Structure 1
Amino acid sequence: MAEAEFARPIVTVDIVLLTLHEGRLCVALLERSAQPFLGVPALIGGYLHTDEDADAEAAVRRILKAKAGLEGIFFEQLGTFASARRDPRDWSVSIAYFALVPQGALKGAANPLELRPVEAAGELPFDHQEIVTAALARLRGKGAYSTIPARLLPEVFTMSELQAIYETVMGERLDQSAFRRKVNDLDLLEVVEGEKRQTERARRPTTLYRLKTPVAVFDRRI
């Protein structure tokens, strides 16, 4: 059989879009608009468009904009999920990504997104549960040694908000003094001059910070 005669697999991208909702790390799901699994919540994803996507990342940007109204957010390739069993239609390849978006930014979706706690996302179609589990493991693994968790926050945030997001992502409590000392020693943040925020717990307006670089990696655990 000539090479051109071999059947070609279905090729898609699937995105584990993570955000905060009611204090919990959640995954954003979208009801499928076609078979298989019509109407069932699933990861945001779609086919690669060979006529307009220069690469898989271009497909991710196009899909996030079209289906979630999102542009310019952090995303990273997670891995490739491929088999003859993952899609009832045919042999299928999914290039999976995870993406982080600040709370409250999911307002421009073409269709309503459902937010489920990432550790209790429930039954999902295809192998999306496996992809979600892999994304959470990746985020927790890299989050302990980088500023990736901060991409779940708005551009400007307080030190308490930064610690809270690390605790949410890593699933553990962190000592406040040790956390602040490590962050200062690693020189990750810059003060937002001329701006402060009044919080319920603080008697005085609280200093605001932003990341010095979009993502920084360091050689010790936060």
Structure 2
Amino acid sequence: MHNKKIDKGHPVILTVDVVLLTLTKDLLQVALQKRDKEPYFGQPALPGGYVHAEEDIDSQAAARRVLREKLGLISPYLEQLYTFASATRDPRGWSASISYYALLPHEAIAAQQSDRLLFLPADDLPQLPFDHNRIIDTAVKRLRDKSTYSALPCHLLPELFTLSELQQTYEQILGHPLDKSAFRRKISDLGFLEATSKTRKGVHRPAQLHRIKPANKLILFNRTI
């Protein structure tokens, strides 16, 4: 049993933390920022901040605000992950963090955030402040689990992509190779992509570019990839 004395005179600290995941250098990476205040000043941590009761209509609005104000980013895909709460996770007192995870292609992040973010492999992180390692581990597991039965990995790709790039993205997230013929047959049967008239230069011939069908942010499959 933890013997830390709880100060009942202070209100609960309520924050949001955002796990921004991207693919770069063939690795799933998480975006971190160096903290600009205590506790843990100067240490890399998840982008986060207090909930602003006067302007945040809900926790998702708070998470979107954190992404916008701290990183200058808007993520088309933002999903609530879990609420991490205890008397010991924050040295300032009893706290609750409503965590979210967001997905963006690395190109979209790097174009605006060349010097504000630190990207580290999600599977090989140092010890981070608070319980941010646990939050990241939970987000990575959620992404990998949902990638087996959804189009979620598409949000780590540019708007237009080849089928080879899509397969590589699934493989990088899941951590194992996929049979090319079987993968393409499943993708075709599921029908969540549409071919465009554009192509990209390939090794032997131009590769056709695809995109997710309009108005489809998250397609769930009736079977696993």
2:207 corresponds to which residue?
A: 206
C-alpha change, 1:11 and 1:110, in structure 2 (3 Å) is farther
1:64 corresponds to which residue?
A: 67
Q: Distance in 2 between matches of 1:6 and 1:132?
A: 31
Query: Deviations along 1:166-206, whole A, 9 cap, x unmatched?
Result: 0011111100000000000111110112x11102x3x1111
Letter in 2 for 1:132: I
Shift of 1:158: 0.2
2:173 corresponds to which residue?
A: 169
**Counterpart secondary structure, 2:107:** coil
Q: How high is the sequence identity, in percent, across the aligned residues?
A: 49
The answer to which of 104-113 and 24-33 deviates more is 104-113
1:184 corresponds to which residue?
A: 188
Q: Distance in 2 between matches of 1:53 and 1:73?
A: 18
**Counterpart secondary structure, 1:184:** helix
Equivalent pairs, count: 215
1:136 corresponds to which residue?
A: 140
Q: Distance in 2 between matches of 1:185 and 1:152?
A: 22
**Counterpart secondary structure, 1:125:** coil
Matches within 5 A, 1:1-222: 7-106=10-109, 107-109=111-113, 112-193=116-197, 195-199=198-202, 201=203, 203-212=204-213, 213-222=216-225
C-alpha change, 1:117 and 1:110, in structure 2 (3 Å) is closer
Letter in 1 for 2:55: E
Q: TM-score, structure 2 length as denominator? A: 0.92
Unaligned runs of 5+ in 1: none
Shift of 1:214: 1.9
The RMSD of aligned alpha carbons is 1.4
Q: Distance in 2 between matches of 1:99 and 1:88?
A: 27
Unaligned runs of 5+ in 2: 1-7
Q: Distance in 2 between matches of 1:219 and 1:163?
A: 18
